[in-house]
Amino acid sequence: MSLSDWLLEKRTLKNKVNSHTTNIKIPEGLWIKCNQCGLLMYYKALNRNLKICPQCSHHFPTSSHERIEQILDPTTWKPINDKLASNDPLGFEDQKLYSKRLQDMKSKTGLQDAVQTGLGKIGNIPVAIGIMDFRFMGGSMGSVVGEKLTRLIEIATYQKIPAIIICASGGARMQEGLLSLMQMAKVSSALQKHNDNGLLYISILTSPTTGGVTASFAMLGDLIIAEPHALIAFAGRRVIEQTIKEDLPDNFQTSEYLFKHGFIDLIIPRIELKAKLKQILSLHKK
């Protein structure tokens, strides 16, 4: 076979291969890349590991539904006030109407607002638990979030059981103005009554926990737990640096920095959280 014939045969074979491979479509959502270490993972394998990167232990965001499955004993979850939903008290409009934004979030997440509240058991110990969901408008704290958490804490006080809140929030919801800000005091007041009855409140901080949530119920726990490398802050880093005219440490506003300076009590990886909560609750019960 001459060189020209050989090259023609190779070119023909290559064209056949390309014609077959170009028709292959890889479904979206099967693979995910860790934005910390770059590891490419099969999405189902990541889910089985509670959305923790097996190489660098980066904690991916997770939904409130997944948190319920991860933390509570099976079949013990009983939602409270799950039909409670925000309206548009101020007629707020930015790039779109607030009422339209709410409707879009409900359709996208299947939630009525940015927190799920309910009763359940951890290690067969009854608890009242609120789980914030960052997918719903950045977990922002509006009037419904505050009302649901307040009612949850009041039920926990009445039933004399521990209260747990898993925080994930960008802060107060600006579309509700002062109505949003007053939730800080309302939830904090309910927690004070819970504490006056000698009952346990555990706050669990996930990434991010910021703004008015950090300035209120997130930091009022008898025990404050955080996930590794979580962003925990009140104001943004740039705002603080511009205000004090100084550069901040690289790990500033991380759970590790706050733990070192005494602002939180424990840093617990997500995969160990349920076992640790069982231990804490059983010790408190005694």
* Binding-site positions: 34, 37, 53, 56
Cis peptide before 208 (omega within 30 of 0): yes
What does DSSP say about strands 31-33 and 40-42: parallel, antiparallel, or unpaired?
Answer: antiparallel
DSSP state at residue 256: H
Total Cβ atoms within 10 A of residue 127: 24
Residues contributing to the annotated binding site for Zn(2+): 34, 37, 53, 56
CA distance 165 to 224: 10
Which residue type does 266 have?
Answer: L
Q: What size, in residues, is the chain?
A: 286
In what helix (H) or strand (E) does residue 225 lie, and over which residues does it extend? strand 223-226
Q: Where are the beta strands (DSSP E) in 64-182?
A: 78-79, 115-122, 125-132, 163-169
